[in-house]
Structure formats: structure tokens, C-alpha cells
């Protein structure tokens, strides 16, 4: 086994990801001839063919795949060894790279980074915002150390478990129906010039003036409201009440969940607009251009403008928020400290 080295595993992982020696060389910052020669020498030493070269690029042989699959584990073990050595007497240095989804960027991530800045001031941190599939790809390629992701009920049916990754559940993120307040009761008025209210103040139902809202495709109803003309309901809303509404879709995973949820409710939503920007969604709803489903994390830091109603939907529609790392990475002190900070930040989901 002395013929194996971490560099070879890293190169094979890059070849698997890029589908070509040229692409792998570019990703690693090597020259193409250097990568080719490294692979040829490794094949001679090991007595196994590692790559198959063809007109359309290269593919890994079974032996190549076996070695490439160990790349993340070996990288995590070496990083753990380095940081354990550096951190004798306490974690004083290190690096952790985090990836997360958009609504985590303004909620979970600030709490995690702030916690690390206090608990491990010598730790270098970086963050990139991407959707869950891209975050997992970055993790597999060793470009990030910790990924904050989410899944919906049913996602696991189509997913193939990745033995190279470890997923931990953090909590549930309930969804809310966001609709325009289309009417006010006789003699009433919707306050104008209000600066708006965040969902944190609206969702509690505190200090809200009485308004009657007409839901597109649904019955009129009256709820308690306050000085801000945003309205928060406490009664769970059936998606079928929005059968005739125009819908605003989100990211591909959220759009798929919307389609599946509406199908369960007996209809196909008319998705006319798409954006994964929560503030944009709320603005479009306020303009009367559609209705939408948004998770609580996305609404937590979004100002809810006048004329927007937020109502809970079936708890079964909630998404699961998760943290994912490479198998073995939990032994790395910087990753372990980050996971502790993530678990503490998950209180925001309660």
C-alpha cells in the first residue's frame, strides 16, 4: 500500500468529476502532461489500469473508482491529523469552508459564523451560497467542508444514498402560504405608508387591525391585524383553496415540491413566475401577481409589505434542514467546532 499516495487519489477524484484528464488538470492547477504521466506511473506501480481513454474523454475503471471514492476520506483524515497537531492545547487555528442555501444565508449562517468567531477566533471561515444539489457536489469534490441543505418528504425516494457523506438532521422548517390581501371590510382601511413588518412580528398575530381578505380561488375570511397591513393567520390553509390562483415558483427543488403538494391537493398549479429570492416573491405577491409557498426561514428576515397575508399550511409539507459533511470529517477539529455551532444555531428552527 506504500505505492498509494494522497495526490493520486485526489487526481482520480478530479478525473471522475471532470470526465477528462484535461479538465482534471485545470481543476487541480496542473499541466495535462503531468496528470497523464502521474496516472501512467501509478498504473505501472499498482499493476491495475485506472483510467480508460476514449474519443469522448476518459472514464475510471473499477480500480480507479475504488481509489477515487477514498479521496474524501483520506483528505479528511489528513486534515484531522494536521489540525490535531496544530491544536494541541486547544483549537487555535484551522480553516472551514461552508456552503448553504439562500434562506440559511440570512438566518443560520450568521449565527454559525458569529459563534465560531467567538469560540475559535483563530479559525479561518468562508461561505458560499448555493442550492442543496450544488452544495453536495462541492462537498464531494472537497471544495467545502460543511454543507447546509434541505430536503422535502419524498426526496429520499429518488435519491441514492452516498456512502461518502454523512447527513445529520437539524430540524423542520414549516412552510407558509403567502397571498395578497385583496379586500378590506366595509368601513375599514388598510394602513398606508407603513414601513412593513417582518414575519417574526406578523406571525405571532400581535397587534394587527381587523381586515377581511379575499383569497384568489377561495372564500373571504377575517383575521386580527395590527398597525401594519400585513396579515398573519393561525388557521392551517388547504392548498386546494388556491386552485384557481396564479403561482410563483422557487428553486427547482422547491418547484418540484410545490407541484407534488398541489397534485396531492387535487390540482396542478399555474406557475407563471419563478424566483428563489424571498423578498422578490413577497413583492410580487404584494403587487397581486400571484401566490406562493415560502419556508419560515425565508420569511424570518423578510420585511412583509402592506397587503400581504401569511398563513400556515399542513405541517407535513415542511422541509427538513440538514447538515452534511464527508464521512470521517467529524474528526477534524475545525469541522467538529463548526458542527457544534450549527447545532446551536438550529434553535432558530424551533
Q: Are 96 and 146 in contact (CB under 8 A)?
A: yes
Give the mean model confidence (pLDDT) for residues 229-240: 74
Q: What is residue 183's predicted lDDT score, i.e. its pLDDT?
A: 36
Q: How confident is the model at residue 66 (pLDDT cuts 50, 70, 90)?
A: confident
Give the mean model confidence (pLDDT) for residues 197-207: 38
261 closest CA partner among 105, 151, 182, 154: 154
Q: How confident is the model at residue 42 (pLDDT cuts 50, 70, 90)?
A: confident
203 closest CA partner among 182, 223, 189: 223
pLDDT of 166 above 50: yes
Q: What is residue 186's predicted lDDT score, i.e. its pLDDT?
A: 35
This prediction has a pTM of 0.66
CA dist 234 → 127, 206, 237, 314 (Å):
36, 11, 9, 12
Q: What is residue 182's predicted lDDT score, i.e. its pLDDT?
A: 63
Q: Are 32 and 25 in contact (CB under 8 A)?
A: yes
Pairing mode, if any, of strands 123-129 and 94-100? Answer: parallel
Q: What is residue 161's predicted lDDT score, i.e. its pLDDT?
A: 77
161: which DSSP letter? P
Q: What is residue 221's predicted lDDT score, i.e. its pLDDT?
A: 32
The CA-based diameter of the chain, rounded to the nearest angstrom, is 87
The most confident of the ranges 40-54, 93-107, 143-157 is: 93-107
Q: What is residue 29's predicted lDDT score, i.e. its pLDDT?
A: 84
17 closest CA partner among 58, 54, 61: 58
pLDDT of 80 above 80: no
Mean pLDDT, the chain, rounded, equals 80
φ, ψ of residue 204 in degrees (nearest 5): -75, -15
pLDDT of 272 above 90: yes
Share of the chain above pLDDT 90, in %: 46
Q: How confident is the model at residue 299 (pLDDT cuts 50, 70, 90)?
A: very high
Q: How confident is the model at residue 56 (pLDDT cuts 50, 70, 90)?
A: confident
Give the mean model confidence (pLDDT) for residues 66-76: 74
Residue listed under C-alpha cell 419560515: 296
Q: What is residue 303's predicted lDDT score, i.e. its pLDDT?
A: 92
Top pLDDT among 349 and 196 is at 349
Q: What is residue 32's predicted lDDT score, i.e. its pLDDT?
A: 84
Question: CA-CA distance, 204 to 22, in Å (whole number)?
Answer: 56
Q: What is residue 231's predicted lDDT score, i.e. its pLDDT?
A: 52
Give the mean model confidence (pLDDT) for residues 132-157: 88
CA dist 76 → 120, 181, 225, 340 (Å):
20, 52, 53, 18
Q: What is residue 209's predicted lDDT score, i.e. its pLDDT?
A: 28
Residue listed under C-alpha cell 388556491: 242
Query: Which helix H or strand E contains 97, and what residues bound it?
Result: strand 94-100
Question: CA-CA distance, 282 to 296, in Å (whole number)?
Answer: 13
pLDDT of 225 above 80: no
Question: CA-CA distance, 86 to 104, in Å (whole number)?
Answer: 31
Top pLDDT among 85 and 62 is at 62
Question: CA-CA distance, 205 to 216, in Å (whole number)?
Answer: 22
Top pLDDT among 230 and 86 is at 86
Non-local (6+) Cβ contacts of 190 within 8 A are 181, 184, 211, 229, 306, 307
CA dist 164 → 71, 80, 101 (Å):
9, 16, 21
Amino acid at each position: 500500500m506504500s505505492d498509494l499516495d494522497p495526490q493520486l487519489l485526489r487526481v482520480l477524484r478530479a478525473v471522475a468529476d471532470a470526465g477528462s484528464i484535461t479538465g482534471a488538470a485545470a481543476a487541480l492547477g496542473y499541466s495535462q502532461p503531468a496528470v497523464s504521466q502521474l496516472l501512467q506511473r501509478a498504473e505501472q506501480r499498482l499493476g491495475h489500469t485506472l483510467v480508460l481513454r476514449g474519443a469522448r474523454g476518459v472514464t475510471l475503471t473499477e480500480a480507479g473508482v475504488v481509489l477515487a471514492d477514498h479521496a474524501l476520506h483520506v483528505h479528511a483524515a489528513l486534515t484531522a491529523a494536521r489540525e490535531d497537531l496544530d491544536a494541541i492545547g486547544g483549537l487555535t487555528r484551522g480553516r472551514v469552508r461552508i456552503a448553504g442555501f439562500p434562506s440559511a444565508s440570512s438566518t443560520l449562517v450568521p449565527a454559525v459564523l458569529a459563534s465560531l468567531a467567538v469560540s475559535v477566533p483563530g479559525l479561518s471561515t468562508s461561505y458560499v451560497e448555493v442550492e442543496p444539489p450544488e452544495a453536495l457536489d462541492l462537498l464531494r469534490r472537497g471544495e467545502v467542508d460543511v454543507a447546509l441543505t434541505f430536503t422535502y418528504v419524498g426526496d429520499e425516494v429518488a435519491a441514492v444514498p452516498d456512502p461518502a457523506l454523512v447527513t445529520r438532521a437539524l430540524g423542520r422548517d414549516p412552510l407558509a402560504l403567502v397571498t395578497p390581501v385583496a379586500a378590506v371590510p366595509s368601513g375599514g382601511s388598510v394602513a398606508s405608508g407603513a414601513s412593513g413588518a417582518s414575519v417574526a412580528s406578523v406571525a405571532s398575530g400581535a397587534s394587527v387591525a381587523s381586515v377581511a381578505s379575499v383569497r384568489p380561488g377561495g372564500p373571504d375570511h377575517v383575521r386580527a391585524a395590527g398597525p401594519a397591513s400585513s396579515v398573519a393567520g393561525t388557521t392551517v390553509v388547504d392548498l386546494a383553496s388556491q386552485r384557481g390562483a396564479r403561482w410563483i415558483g422557487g428553486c427547482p427543488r422547491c418547484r418540484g415540491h410545490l407541484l407534488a403538494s398541489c397534485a396531492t391537493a387535487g390540482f396542478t398549479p399555474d406557475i407563471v413566475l419563478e424566483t428563489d429570492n424571498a423578498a422578490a416573491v413577497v413583492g410580487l405577491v404584494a403587487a397581486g401577481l400571484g401566490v406562493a409557498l415560502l419556508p419560515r426561514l425565508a420569511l424570518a428576515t423578510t420585511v412583509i409589505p402592506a397587503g400581504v397575508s401569511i398563513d400556515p399550511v399542513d405541517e407535513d409539507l415542511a422541509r427538513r434542514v440538514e447538515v452534511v459533511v464527508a464521512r470521517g470529517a467529524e474528526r477534524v477539529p475545525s469541522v467538529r467546532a463548526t458542527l457544534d455551532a450549527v447545532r446551536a444555531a438550529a434553535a432558530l428552527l424551533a
